[in-house]
Chains A and B, each alone.
Chain A
């Protein structure tokens, strides 16, 4: 890397001591590039083995990559921490302005350690770091309000990110998220709860630096080439026009769209909440993350009358994506688009991960159907959940945050925990402790969820392996699947170390990655990238193993073996063999 590149600066903030300092970690950024690669090394060092995820020994590591602020679409921030949901590696990526803000403030990574005694929010503006009293903000359940207040209080409009938590983070719901720029999230695995445990209400970062490149002329030309390829690419059109919600209809037709807690994989009423349907009637605005020309963020507008006054309406903008429509629309069978938007707005307000919340409520609905939850008013379910009944689900979302009784306390810790208390683990859609994403495409998706380092669809993209294999089902063997997943996962370590948005994976092929990196003084080869990808993955599994992960003992939710997928009924044997093959590859990394 180039000598003066500020990427090498790691900002350490100790909330217990209210101190901060900067360390030059050029070594790490040269060896592991940035993002995930650098963050896992920092986490290994800063997170004490067996640390309580909600205690002072669990650090939060944010990292960006060399291309951030330099080329388009290197627009993600990687957050690593120990997850309160799985008790293991927590990894979550978010866009908004978070990545460019961290890079423009002059950092490659930020490590937040310790716990504050009193509520605090951090303001990082270039090399200034302020610990601001957040007592007045603590207790604000709405993440929207927190954002509005800090927006008014702090400088840097347009250049800053404001990462914040709502009520769910404060109450340490295991899958509380961190919201940034209102519509982007560090969604999965409970970063919001870790913020809450540190009494950290928000982190605002801003800056306006420049970054030197080796050869300005090559840089400008290469930038234009990458930019032109992006705006002309079909995936840009796809993600811009309808966004990820475009996938609802095809996955539903394929019978791969988990519905009613995956009792089925097809929802008759999906047409009402498809990407097309919502765009036609409700799409109000598209917005982009900083330094991304695609602009895939879709905001729906819905108008709601006030009951108290005639002709008086509240108009709300609600972000929607494929996974949101899956987890509340099809999993809970909310087919009224307005009901769906209203519910999603509530989830957003409290700051919960929408996927885990939807899956948790789906499990709870089925558990109530089966009378597993005691019905006494004080310590039981309190409300009767019913598929499609969004008003009751809205109440339940509030209960998940407030946790008024044992049942909601348990549910706030995820379906794995709740089902260990109340029974019903056969239909608890938990993979390594994380709730299921919206793909019942076949064995590859589920093997990916089980062995993946985040237990998410983003690890290895099994859903895409399944869809490829549909063309030639003889290829869908456990060994092939395992190899495809891990090959993809190695490459994804490079992308997430560069913090390139996965939607741009078609643009940033090996050649483009090498060329763009060379502008910043990285002299790497294709072989280097393969090697580094493998090493980063190895480091992640080392952390996972250290914290007790053993893929061979992992629980397979029975429900996924009962409901037909596009590949038919998935056999436990295929899944076990896939896990075994994948584990063998991982052990040799």
Chain B
């Protein structure tokens, strides 16, 4: 299974093409559904911080979901089952690297599915879809 990874954050120019790309997966424009974030590292002159889901093998977000709406995904990370999600936001608080974002439109988390759609819209090769070392798997 593949996962999204940041190749070299120093190449990032902060264009946010990846953010808008991620939201387009669902057909909408804008940002609400975006599961990736880019912000300056304390001022643009210092470069950027690109936050993407690391596809944890033992995802802390899934452990705190009271309804089991986050299903660990083969290869790491989680898959959201929207019907089960009650919008409590526990997952967002539990993510160690703040890689769960909030979709205000539907009041549910926006979570990376490691589809790689954003990769094609990063003009500077910051992102790539990589095969997980050791093949990954679902932690038990």
Contacts and interface: CB of A to CB of B under 8 A. Distances in A.
Interface stretch (B32-40, B67-75, B85-93): B32-40
B28 A182 contact: no
Given A208-B32, A285-B45, A295 B27 contact: no
Given A291-B17, A293-B17, A157 B39 contact: yes
Interface stretch (B8-16, B58-66, B76-84, B132-140): B8-16
Contact of A210 (B13, B15, B33, B43): B33
A417 interface: no
B29 A291 contact: no
Main secondary structure of the interface of B (DSSP, over half): loop
Interface stretch (A85-93, A108-116, A215-223, A479-487): A215-223
Given A223-B24, A287-B44, A299-B45, A209 B32 contact: yes
B24 A293 contact: no
Nearest to B121: A227
Contacts of A69: 20, 29-31
Contacts of B105: 209-210
Contacts of B40: 157-158
A176 to B, nearest CB: 22
A100 B20 CA distance: 10
A239 B44 CA distance: 19
A288 B14 contact: yes
A147 B31 contact: no
A538 interface: no
Contacts of A104: 30-31
B17 A72 contact: yes
A158 B33 contact: no
Contacts of A227: 17, 121
Contacts of B120: 224
Contacts of B17: 72, 227, 291, 293
Contacts of A183: 44-45
Given A158-B38, A208-B104, A292 B15 contact: yes
A151 interface: yes
A569 interface: no
A548 B95 CA distance: 60
A147 B40 CA distance: 13
Nearest to A67: B29
A189 B72 CA distance: 56
Contacts of B24: 219-220, 223
A158 B45 contact: no
Interface residues of B, number: 33
Contacts of B124: 295
A70 B30 contact: yes
B43 A211 contact: no
A210 B30 contact: yes
Contacts of B104: 126, 208-209
Contact of A158 (B20, B32, B37, B102): B37
A284 B34 CA distance: 30
Nearest to B45: A317
A216 B47 CA distance: 33
Contacts of A231: 123
A301 B13 CA distance: 16
A290 interface: yes
A399 B85 CA distance: 61
Interface string A155-188: 0011100000000000000000000011100000
Contacts of A211: 28-30
B16 A216 contact: no
B32 to A, nearest CB: 4
Contacts of A157: 39-40
Interface centre among A158, A159, A289 (most CB of B within 10 A): A158
A295 B39 contact: no
A212 interface: yes
A103 B24 CA distance: 16
Contact of A182 (B31, B43, B102, B121): B43
A219 B27 contact: yes
Interface centre among B20, B26, B30, B38 (most CB of A within 10 A): B30
A386 interface: no
B23 interface: yes
A515 interface: no
A285 B42 CA distance: 15
Interface in A205-241: 208-213, 216-217, 219-220, 223-224, 227, 231
A291 B30 contact: no
Given A151-B42, A211-B28, A213-B27, A291 B16 contact: yes
Contacts of B44: 181-183, 287
A158 B51 CA distance: 11
B39 A70 contact: no
A158 B48 CA distance: 9
A147 B104 CA distance: 27
Contacts of B38: 158
Nearest to B50: A158
Contact of A213 (B15, B29, B31, B33): B29
Interface of A: 69-70, 72, 100, 103-104, 126, 147-148, 151, 157-159, 181-183, 208-213, 216-217, 219-220, 223-224, 227, 231, 284-293, 295, 299, 317
Which A-B residue pairs are the 3 nearest by beta carbons? A216-B27, A158-B39, A210-B32
10 contacts: A69-B20, A69-B29, A148-B43, A158-B37, A213-B29, A223-B24, A288-B14, A291-B16, A291-B20, A293-B17
Given A224-B120, A285-B45, A290-B14, 5 more contacts: A69-B31, A208-B34, A213-B29, A217-B27, A293-B123
